[in-house]
Amino acid sequence: MESGLSSLLSVSIDFETSHLFFPTIISWLLVILFIAVLVTKTVPFLAAVKRGERTLPIFGESMDGLRFFGTLALLVAYFYLMAVVGNMFPYTGYGFLFVSMGFVLLMALMYMHEWTKKALVTAVITAIVAPSLAWFILAKLFQITLP
């Protein structure tokens, strides 16, 4: 009786593949959510296009080139600068922290339609608080190495 209970309570971990457990779950959840979005949003949209009520966004609508190419440029700069700044402060996560603050602020400013004092203060506070909170949780609480 004792050996049966102890075998139920024992845990063996295969360290060769244990790091793949959560990414596999997250990947499948993302696939399921993607399919759900396709079914609930894309199918009705395409039916409206077929009826002539809507048009495809790539035809007949203007593109905001500044925001589109600005976003692409900021993304490239974000990943490049994160490594550069991270190398200045190795194993501290300051590369993630400082570059994320600038990235969030510049993205907010680029997509802000009206530059009021309230909107600017909100963007600055968000650019400081959100990356700081993420950095604290990831680097300090969970001790995950950040660039």
| Domains of the chain by residue range | 1-61, 62-147
Q: Which H or E run includes 146? A: none
Of 92, 89, 74, nearest in space to 146 by CA: 92
Which amino acid would we find at residue 130?
A
Distance of CA 52 to the CA centre of its chain: 35
Q: What's the pLDDT score for residue 24?
A: 86
Low pLDDT (below 70) residues in the chain: 1-6, 58-61
Of 95, 72, 78, 85, nearest in space to 145 by CA: 95
What pTM, to 2 d.p., does this model score?
Answer: 0.63
Alpha-carbon distance of 96 to 30, in angstroms, equals 24
Q: What's the pLDDT score for residue 123?
A: 97
Q: What is the pLDDT of residues 101-116, one digit of tens each?
A: 999 999 999 999 999 9
